[in-house]
Amino acid sequence: MSSPVRISQKDAIAIITIDNPPVNAINPDVTQSLGARVDEAIADAGVRAVVIIGAGRNFVAGYDINEFVRIVSGEKEIDVHLGNVLDDIELAPKPVVAAMQGAALGGGLELALACHYRIAGPATQLGQPEVKLGLIPGAGGTQRLPRLIGSYRAAVMCATGAPVTAAEALDNGLIDEIVEGDLLEGALRFAAALTSPRPTRGKDQSLSTFILPKLPPKLKPLFAPNQALAAVELANRLPFAQGLIEEQRLFRECLYSNESKALVHVFLGEREVAKVPGVPKVTPEIKLAAVIGAGTMGRGIAMAYANAGVSVLLTDESPDALERAMLAIRAQYKSSASKGRMSPADANSRIERIQKAEGYAGMENANVIVEAVFEDMVLKKRVFADIDSFASHDAILATNTSSLDIDQIAAATRRPERVIGHHFFSPAQVMRLLEIVRGKATSPEVTGASLGIARILGKVGVVVGNCRGFVGNRMFHCYRREAQFLVEEGARPADVDAALVDFGMAMGPLGVGDLAGLDVGWRIRKEHRHLDDPSVRKPLIEDMLCEAGRFGQKTRAGWYRYDDERNRIDDPEVESIAAEAARRAGITRREIRADEIRDRCLCALVNEGCRILEEGIAARPVDIDMIYVTGYGFPPHRGGPMKYAELAGWRRVHDRVRELERVHGSLWQPASLLAKLAAEPAG
């Protein structure tokens, strides 16, 4: 096996190249090899200076995350040798230059900080993004960086994880030069002019008074960003060597925290869900996409394809609806350009990619056809029968249904193996999740191509099985069911939403309903009402809101009232409707605490998730977690519903579900998988 770090020489300058594909991540092998190459360069009397550079497109994009997983599991020890190698570089008697391109992040930037000089290509991104994994820099980053660029700037970089550009790095003293053209040639020229090393940091004394940067609201309650601030603050008042010891202590506290375990799980999960047993990796050629249905979802899907550089034909059975959609698409792109989110030229090119079609004209050439009409089985089957009559033999036939039976839809065609669910989330041009729903006849190649489409669109594709609501909405139904029950039983809507937002959800369950439109769920419930067990309690209040014409933000009234700017206002009328729902259900209303709200909503998610795993609708817990983190606003630092339950303790969750079963009945019967997990030894 070749060494991940190699050394060569040109004109008395040693070139140490880190070559550990795909991103030159640091691991113990890289550390050991790097240390040996540095020692070799220092010992060689024919070497006057050293350049450290990365092979390929990146310098070093960080430390190998899988190593952190092995450390936490007890399989490995923390790589303390890295700190020694960085000390050796810093104390080298010959000038050492870090030549950076692409990503110089995390451990990569810490390596550069130990070098005497730093240069970079113009497109280089430099940062300490460890907090995004619930960590802080652990190889001197919180101690060297403030001594180089000042404590305030260093604290912002370490606590937010936000990278800086090469131009910004040059301006704040993080790098010495931006190299246009060939980076290695520029590095050799730069190194040839050096005569001696330069101190990489200031004296071991207090820096300027530490000013605490203001953390963004989402970061304030998190552990790692606050630990990062504490570590940078230590650089102001401790000698460097002692600061390194304290940094390592804080790093270890982060490494073994539930926050880091959850964030690492999410980071790796995004890659894991793309690998589905029995499904080939396919990179489909998508030159033309067709979207049938020009409502909110249809035009969002069209924009998602246009944003990815794909030409789109958009149609609707209503010419007026199609015209309104084209105007709305144009307005959205123009608005984005006016706010600086894209250039006017880019906005215009995206607008031009979306063309309206008369009927199905031109769609016979589409590589993928996405049906996005109303959630009505009769309508969808009619549309798919039409699609079957004109679509090319190798086209992917996708339905955007959020709950209906894929197999019934596929049965309307003569090629059910080409039919699959592509469940986009609103707004489709923004939300990262694509729930890919396999029918019983869907071919592995079409499933693999659908995962490829997700990659093309910049989305996280998660493959699931076919059932009512699939994975995301089936679980979300249970989550929102409890939210509605809680209001019927006495909780205020604002208190229900606040309890879940305080937990970390992007929005509360009732506010989400208002945003999506309460009539959507109402229509689905009416579609499936014949399947419901009349003996099982069902929420009454949301149907009553819809019967009163309160569909959410679109009608300025749902669970809340909304002003012209869609600001939320508590509405006494909802309290009256809730009291009437309780009367009809024979419920005595009471005060309900935030911890009960959280437990009931979250345990309902987890219990249903266990049932979905039992049935094979989701293949792995990580599939559920990625659906919820990328599509439903579940906080990444909690890891998703299933990881949250694992970290909280399966026994604790199971026991809480049993308590709720005793109080609220059969809806709370623990899933057999939940009981099995609870019975296993902890850890």
| Annotated catalytic residue within 110, 233, 488, 646 | 110
Position 518, amino acid: L
Asked whether the predicted pLDDT for residue 2 surpasses 90, the reply is no
- What is the Cα–Cα distance from 659 to 365, expressed in whole angstroms? 57
- Weakest mean pLDDT among 67-76, 226-235, 341-350, 392-401: 67-76
pLDDT score of 226: 96
Distance CA 295, CA 322 (A): 8
Distance between CA 523 and CA 505 in Å, rounded? 26
Name all domains of the chain by residue range, CATH numbers in brackets: 5-256 (3.90.226.10), 288-464 (3.40.50.720), 472-616+649-679 (1.10.1040.50)
Continuous segment of H or E residues that includes residue 127: strand 125-127
Beta bridge pairs of residue 371: 292, 399
Whole-angstrom Cα distance, residue 201 to residue 110?
13
pLDDT of residue 681: 83
- Give the confidence band of 205 by pLDDT, cuts at 50, 70, 90: very low
What is the maximal distance between C-alpha atoms in the chain? Answer: 91
Contact 561, 571 (CB under 8 A): yes
pLDDT tens, 571-623? Answer: 999 999 999 999 999 999 999 999 999 999 999 999 999 999 999 999 999 99
Measured distance CA(450)–CA(398) in Å, rounded: 9
- Please say if the pLDDT value at position 33 is more than 90: yes
Q: How far is CA 380 from the centre of its chain?
A: 31
pLDDT per residue over 172-195, tens digit each? 999 999 999 999 999 999 999 998
**In contact, 162 and 132? CB cutoff 8 Å:** no
Q: Can you read off the two tokens belonging to residue 145?
A: 């960086």
- Overall size of the chain counted in residues: 683
Contact 202, 113 (CB under 8 A): no
pLDDT at 203 over 60: no
Q: Which two tokens mark 577?
A: 């409707």
Among this protein's residues, is 130 annotated catalytic?
Answer: yes
Q: Residue 327 corresponds to which amino acid?
A: L
H helices of 632-682, in order, are 641-648, 650-664, 672-679
Confidence of residue 563 (pLDDT cuts 50, 70, 90): very high
pLDDT at 207 (0 to 100): 52
User: Which pLDDT belongs to residue 531?
Assistant: 64
Amino acid at 186: G
What pTM does this model have? 0.93
Work out the mean pLDDT of the chain and round it to a whole number. 94
* Residue 404: HSE in the Cβ half-sphere, 13 Å Cα cutoff: 26
Tell me the C-alpha distance between 62 and 70, whole Å: 16
Angle formed at CA 351 by CA 350 and CA 354, multiple of 5 degrees = 95
More confident residue, 354 or 520: 354
Residue 592 has which token pair? 């309900």
Q: pLDDT digit string (tens) for 268-311?
A: 999 999 999 999 999 999 999 999 999 999 999 999 999 999 99
How far apart are alpha carbons 228 and 134 in whole angstroms? 10
Please choose, from the candidates 59, 53, 46, 55, the residue with its C-alpha nearest in 3D space to the C-alpha of residue 13: 46
Nearest Cα to Cα of residue 92 among 198, 203, 241, 201: 198
**Of residues 40, 67, 90, 130, which has the active-site annotation?**
130
The two structure tokens encoding residue 429: 């041009």
CA 487 – CA 500 distance, rounded (Å): 14
Lookup: tokens for 283: 């990179």
Would you say the C-alpha torsion 308, 313, 316, 318 has a positive or negative sign?
A: positive
- Which helix (H) or strand (E) segment is 100 a member of? strand 96-100
DSSP 467-483: STTTTHHHHHHHHHHHH
Q: List 103's β-bridge partners, or say none.
A: 125
pLDDT at res. 77: 82
Handedness of CA 672, 678, 680, 683 (dihedral sign): positive
Instruction: Note the pLDDT of residue 1.
Output: 61
- At residue 206 the predicted structure's pLDDT band, cuts being 50, 70 and 90, is very low
Res. 534 pLDDT band, cuts 50 70 90: confident
Residue 208 has pLDDT above 60, yes or no: no
Give the SS3 label for residue 421. strand
Return the closest-CA partner of residue 125 out of 76, 92, 155, 162: 162
- Answer whether the bond into residue 284 is a cis peptide, omega within 30°: no
2: which residues sit within 8 A by CB, 6+ positions away?
none
pLDDT value of position 525:
79
Question: Which helix (H) or strand (E) element contains residue 460?
Answer: strand 460-464
Q: Is 618 helix (H, G, I), strand (E, B) or coil?
A: coil
Q: Is residue 202 scored above 60 in pLDDT?
A: no
Cis bond before residue 427 (omega within 30° of 0): yes
CA atoms of 447 and 175, how far apart (whole Å): 46
Percentage of the chain surpassing pLDDT 70? 98
Is it the case that residue 460 has pLDDT exceeding 70?
yes
Find where tokens 């205020």 sit: 492
Residue 397 near residue 415, CB atoms below 8 Å: yes
567 forms beta bridges with none
Contact 453, 424 (CB under 8 A): no
User: Look-up: residue for tokens 């991103």?
Assistant: 23
End-to-end CA distance of the chain: 35
Q: Are strands 368-371 and 288-292 parallel, antiparallel or unpaired?
A: parallel
What is the Cα–Cα distance from 637 to 611, expressed in whole angstroms? 24
User: How crowded is residue 235: how many other Cβ atoms within 10 Å of its Cβ?
Assistant: 28
Is residue 254's pLDDT more than 80?
yes
The shares of helix, strand and coil residues in the chain, as percent rounded to the nearest 5, are 50, 10, 35
Measured between alpha carbons, how far is 644 from 637 in angstroms, rounded to an integer?
Answer: 9
Burial state string for 289-326 with b = 16 or more CB within 10 A and e = fewer than 16: bbbbbbebbbbbbbbbbbbbebbbbbbbeeeebbeebb
Tokens standing for residue 674: 């939940």
The Cα 273–Cα 628 span in angstroms is 13
Question: What is the three-state SS of 314-346?
Answer: EECCCHHHHHHHHHHHHHHHHHHHHCCCCCHHH
d(CA 641, CA 548): 34
Least confident of 71-75, 85-89, 174-178: 71-75
102: left (phi over 0), alpha (psi -120 to 50) or beta: left
Helices (H) and strands (E) in the chain, counts: 28, 19
Q: What is the mean pLDDT of residues 150-166?
A: 95
Q: Strand ranges (DSSP E) for 479-518?
A: none
**Model confidence at 358: pLDDT above 80:** yes
Per-residue pLDDT at 53: 98
Model confidence pLDDT, tens digit, residues 101-142: 999 999 999 999 999 999 999 999 999 999 999 999 999 999
pLDDT over 90 for what percent of the chain?
Answer: 88
Residue 329: exposed, middle, or buried by beta-carbon count in 10 A (0-12, 13-18, 19+)? buried
The residue type found at 465 is G
Distance CA(101)–CA(365), nearest Å, equals: 42
